Amino acid sequence: MTPSPPVSSYAAPVRRMHWTIFTLVLLAYVFVNIFDLFPRGSSPRMNLLATHYLMGLAVLVLILPRLLLRLRHGRPPVSPQPPDWSERIGQVTHVALYAFLFIQPMLGIITLQVGGKPVTLFGVTLLPSFVAHPDRHLGHWWENIHTTLGTIFYFVIGLHILAALWHHYVRRDNTLKRML
């Protein structure tokens, strides 16, 4: 019996989940960045913001299945193998990405709940406010943390994308191809 060749890409469910979460995060950033184009209190502004919330909730719901899929299917080897320092940077970046994908939506929920705001989309309540005594000042404090972390993670996401491109075009290994 001949040995099976090594797997050269992530399992299809892992790849689909990666690109689904990528799309949700991208849309969350797009919606939060364009909602300011509309007047305060307007329906388009409120619906764009609610869609941002919905994308964040979807990421939060999918992050645990994403991790479980990743653990279940493993990680195909990079060929040719990168240096140890590169592997360590990649591991740290991935931990930061996973932390972001969990913490950022949680901060968004905390922000809304503390401020006493429900998540509504087109007039339908998706997540009611459960706080009996909202604190607008504390809600703004949490919102500032959420916004600051969101800005920081532009750079972490950018680093992740640049690293994939560096592996593909400079190192010419299969790092990027494993996720396609």
Domains of the chain, start order: 12-179 (1.20.950)
pLDDT at position 4 over 60: no
Element (H, E) at 4: none
**Residue 118 has what pLDDT?**
83
Q: What is the pTM of this model?
A: 0.88
Over residues 62-113, the pLDDT tens digits come to 999 999 999 999 999 999 999 999 899 999 999 999 999 999 999 999 999 9
pLDDT at position 56 over 80: yes
In angstroms, what CA-CA distances link 95 with 1, 78, 90, 102?
39, 18, 9, 11
**Residue 126 has what pLDDT?**
78
Judge contact between 76 and 8, C-beta under 8 A: yes
